[in-house]
Amino acid sequence: MKRIQNYINGKLENPISNQWLDNYDPSVGEVYAHIPNSGKEDVEKAVLAAKKAFKTWSVTSIEERSRILHKIADGIEANMEKLVVAESKDNGKPLALAGAVDIPRAVSNFRFYAQAITQFSSNAHENIGSKSINYTLRKPMGVVGCISPWNLPLYLFSWKIAPALVTGNCVIAKPSEVTPMTAFLLSEICQKAGLPDGVLNIVHGLGTSTGQAIVEHPEIKAISFTGGTKTGAHISRIAAPMFKKLSLELGGKNPNIIFADCDYDKMLKVTLKSSFANQGQICLCGSRIFVEKSIYEQFKKDFITKTKALKVGSPKNPDSDLGAMVSKEHFEKVLSYIQNVEKYGGKLLCGGNPVKVEGHESGYYLEPTIIEVGSNDCKLNQEEIFGPVVTLMPFETEEEVLAMANEVRYGLSSTLWTSNLNRAMRISNALETGIVWVNTWLNRDLRTPFGGVKESGIGREGGFYALEFFTEPKNVCIQYT
């Protein structure tokens, strides 16, 4: 059976304890690899390597750091097929999705930050009256931690690592234990790209032990975390007394607001994606759909028809719109919401059943599911389900829908469908989310701030925001005569 190894000080190695965890292929429900069950001692070894490497990496020229990031991107491109297959097998997502989105985006993340650093400049403030000048440097922080989730494995892993490395930090990174394979393959790519030993260390294992050891380590100065809100709160409690810098990208329960004056066909097509792409396991999915009353019945009918036509099947099948859910545990969690649909204040409109895929009978497949709800207060509209499950509800006025959209503890993203510019401006200004999409969804420009408000997190990734996060401003004031 394949063994994933830690990447510490430039070498691939077993965990010190020689303890291993099972890694599942969710499309068939079988263990296909083992991953290190790393402990504090592995994290300690990685931190020592990173501290040593920092002395040189932090003073390596921007051109050289940028060149190495481009080489890593080249390595991902050269291994595209292998990485696409690995991501799909580890996560259960359709091959086509991994090939169109996940792995190409990992390439873009490295290339984007390889270029962005060359444009990231310092400020100077001259004060002629007092004959002094202030200039503000952006210094790398030292050793930093990057912890990522399972839904977009290499995509989100590289989204953190690339800005952390290019700003001169040395990194201790942990991918989700549920989807560790592409991070492991990335270690081999980094070795070949000539990344100096110890600059990036990838330590595999459970969140509660390996992840916890990273967060607790006093020499790790910053933590960039993407994952659940509960985990984010736990990390904050540990990190706060050590005054660690934190970037937290957490859960969401995003509204998708549809007005009667929208481009109906485009809206319907995109809403199908924003509801069920990646089996609904994208933090940006629009899981609460609010539809203006005058088109509610029409939309309900069309949306159900389109949803029923979606094909759930093997991730390897090019016809599959939805693949497998990521794990048995997550599959059961999502199913439990559906099984309690009436108790939780909803009515099942379509889907809701596990799917038996021929030849993959033990895989974790679920029909795309639409639930009608009578009120935004219900559990189904207030809790993040993070699966192929959306709720539907009519509204009559702008004020009413805006209040419902904002009446939730999360604030990651929102989508708005209307052709009325004034309304689009009014509502996008008032929505309490970090990201608003108008007449589009998941339309990403890597220069823009990415992140949420309320319990969806603190801080922003993307563009110069991540470069700022991974650097410490230092002001120098010089007076002259």
Angle 125-467-470 from CA coordinates, rounded to 5°: 105
Query: Which member of 251, 352, 459, 462 binds ligand NAD (CB under 6 A)?
Result: 251
Give how many residues touch ligand NAD by CB under 6 A. Answer: 31
* CA distances (Å), origin 423, targets 88, 265, 417, 419, 428: 40, 20, 10, 8, 8
* CA distances (Å), origin 20, targets 6, 10, 29, 214: 11, 21, 18, 19
Query: Which member of 268, 283, 295, 446 binds ligand NAD (CB under 6 A)?
Result: 283
DSSP 365-433: -B--EEEEES-TTSHHHHS---SSEEEEEEE--HHHHHHHHHSSSEESEEEEE-S-HHHHHHHHHH--S
Q: Which stretch binds ligand NAD (CB under 6 A): 80-88, 226-234, 302-310, 436-444?
A: 226-234
Closest separation in Å from C-beta 180 to ligand NAD: 9
Query: Which member of 174, 204, 300, 460 binds ligand NAD (CB under 6 A)?
Result: 174
Would you give the end-to-end CA distance of the chain in angstroms? 72
Q: Is the dihedral of CA 307, 308, 314, 317 positive or negative?
A: negative
Q: By CB under 6 A, tell whether 228 contacts ligand NAD.
A: yes
Closest separation in Å from C-beta 229 to ligand NAD: 6
Q: By CB under 6 A, tell whether 235 contacts ligand NAD.
A: yes
Closest by CA position to 440, among listed 290, 307, 277, 270: 270
**Rounded to an integer, what is the distance from CA 280 to the centroid of its chain?**
13
Is 472 part of the annotated catalytic residue set?
no
Q: By CB under 6 A, tell whether 227 contacts ligand NAD.
A: yes
Query: Which member of 177, 321, 367, 455 binds ligand NAD (CB under 6 A)?
Result: 177
Closest by CA position to 464, among listed 118, 46, 32: 118
Closest separation in Å from C-beta 251 to ligand NAD: 3
Rounded distance, CA 278 to CA 362, Å?
19
If the CB atoms of residues 38 and 307 are measured against ligand NAD, the closer one turns out to be 38
Rounded distance, CA 415 to CA 436, Å?
6
Catalytic residue among 87, 249, 455, 461: 249
x/- binding map, residues 426-465, to ligand NAD, per CB under 6 A?
Answer: --------------------------x---xx--------
If the CB atoms of residues 131 and 409 are measured against ligand NAD, the closer one turns out to be 409
Catalytic residue among 262, 283, 285, 455: 283
Query: Which member of 94, 168, 207, 346 binds ligand NAD (CB under 6 A)?
Result: 207
Closest separation in Å from C-beta 219 to ligand NAD: 16
State the residue number with the nearest CB to ligand NAD.
207
If the CB atoms of residues 23 and 456 are measured against ligand NAD, the closer one turns out to be 456
Closest separation in Å from C-beta 253 to ligand NAD: 9
Is 44 part of the annotated catalytic residue set?
no
Rounded distance, CA 400 to CA 408, Å?
14
Q: Which stretch binds ligand NAD (CB under 6 A): 208-216, 288-296, 304-312, 355-363?
A: 208-216
Residue written as tokens 């580890």? Answer: 90
Continuous segment of H or E residues that includes residue 191: helix 181-193
Whats the size of the chain, residue-wise?
Answer: 481
Q: Is the dihedral of CA 265, 266, 269, 274 positive or negative?
A: negative
Residue type, 409: R
Chain positions 375 to 414 lying near ligand NAD, rule: CB under 6 A, are 384, 386, 412
Q: By CB under 6 A, tell whether 149 contacts ligand NAD.
A: yes
Q: By CB under 6 A, tell whether 151 contacts ligand NAD.
A: yes
Closest separation in Å from C-beta 330 to ligand NAD: 7
Query: Which member of 39, 92, 211, 394 binds ligand NAD (CB under 6 A)?
Result: 211
Closest separation in Å from C-beta 317 to ligand NAD: 25
Rounded distance, CA 203 to CA 191, Å?
15
Write out the residues near ligand NAD by the rule CB under 6 A: 147-151, 156, 174, 176-177, 207-208, 211-212, 215, 226-228, 231, 234-235, 249-252, 283, 384, 386, 412, 452, 456-457
The catalytic residue positions are 249, 283
